Amino acid sequence: MSGHPEPSLAAPEAAPRAAPAGNRAARTAVSAGVALVLLAAWEGIIRHFHVPPFVMPGPVAIARALVADWGLLSHALWVTLEITGLALATAVILGVLLSVIMSQSEWLESTLFPYMVILQVTPIIAIAPLIILWISNLKVGLLICAWLIAFFPIVANTTMGLKSADRGLEDLFKLYGASRWQTFRYMRMPGAVPYFLAGLRISGGLALIGAVAAEFVAGTGGQGSGLAFRILEAGYTMNIPRMFAALALISATGLVIHVVLTYVSHLCLRRWHESALKRER
């Protein structure tokens, strides 16, 4: 017998994980601090060089316009949000359905996919006037324009996810005699979820861009107008602080959409997918 101890086969004890909450709070504080510094520098430059508000308003003037015109801008924001939400929901339903169909047949995919690419690369600003002209219902026309932009990432990502199943796992399902439906339900669908969620995050912002672009083309006014029309209206009347306030609302809306969809993705993936699991530090 050797005097040296036998090597232990027990798994090493896991190192304690650093609490992510503190790191997340610190990152948020740093981001907020950078934003405040930039806003302060913007306001300082405007005041130092005495730039008139009709040329470039500062953050204070924009905030005042946002408060003073909130009744007008909030209604426009709701109109834009409604078009964005409906376009995203339609893109998800039709995109997932079409992805499932194309993933079952390479012939269908090779037939349909080029047309979707054509729709994606065609500038919406070029075809939006025709869509709005052909569709008598203005809201439906705006919805179609926004949907056309948000549709492609859902289809492309979900189709790729459905076709990216592990070959070894697929052979295992065949070995155990799984039906085509069982293979699709228990292997392909769970594997496609991260791809779908990635496409969803992209489409959320694109739906907002499509809604705003369609509103610019439509140029509607009155009760049914969105934020894009309020930007045009403010430009015509030289109310530049209101224009920037509407732009700030669009940017804030896009940021909120991204944060919400990122959080939804985290909730769906946090217990099982590598992209959402906490890593050791």
How far apart, in Å, are the Cα atoms of 186 and each of 152, 196, 276? 25, 16, 20
28 belongs to a structural domain: no
What's the half-sphere exposure (Cβ side, CA atoms, 13 Å) at 177?
A: 0
**Rounded distance, CA 125 to CA 213, Å?**
7
Rounded to whole angstroms, the Cα distance separating 9 from 11 reads: 6
Residue 81 placed within a domain: yes
CA distance 94 to 156: 12
What is the pLDDT, as a whole number, of residue 15? 41
Residue 21 pLDDT exceeds 70: no
Write down the residue that tokens 């990502």 correspond to. 157
What's the CATH code of the domain at 209?
1.10.3720.10
CA atoms within 13 A on the CB side of 122: 13
HSE-CB of 273 using CA atoms within 13 angstroms: 16
Q: Which helix (H) or strand (E) holds 89?
A: helix 70-103
pLDDT for residue 66 is more than 80 = yes
Has residue 70 been placed in a domain? yes
∠ at Cα 263 (184, 89), nearest 5°?
Answer: 60
State percent of the chain over pLDDT 90. Answer: 49
- Burial class from Cβ neighbours inside 10 Å (0-12, 13-18, 19+) for residue 100 reads middle
Of 219, 214, 161, 213, the residue nearest 191 (C-alpha): 161
> How large a percentage of the chain has pLDDT more than 70?
87
| Domain assignment of residue 104, given as a range | 60-269
Q: Tell whether 39 is covered by a domain.
A: no
Q: Residue 223 pLDDT > 80, yes or no?
A: no
pLDDT digits (tens, 9 = 90+) for 133-163: 888 888 899 999 999 999 999 999 999 998 8
CA 82/CA 225 separation, integer angstroms: 12
Listed range (130-139, 213-222, 241-250) with the worst mean pLDDT:
213-222
Q: How many residues does the chain have?
A: 281
Number of Cβ within a 10 Å radius of residue 259 = 11
Assigned domain for 135 exists: yes
Mean pLDDT over 227-245 rounds to 92
For 109, counting Cβ atoms within 10 Å of its Cβ (0-12 exposed, 13-18 middle, 19+ buried), the class is middle
Contacts of 173 (CB under 8 A, 6+ apart): 182, 183, 186, 187
**52 within a domain of the structure (yes/no):** no
Residue whose pair of structure tokens reads 């086969």 in the numeric block: 9
- In this prediction, residue 136 carries a pLDDT of 83
Q: Global pTM? A: 0.83
Domains held by the chain: number: 1
- Distances in whole angstroms, Cα of residue 101 to Cα of each of 119, 124, 155: 19, 26, 11
In a domain, 10, yes or no: no
- The answer as to whether 38 is a domain residue is no
pLDDT of residue 29: 87
CB 247 within 8 A of CB 240: no
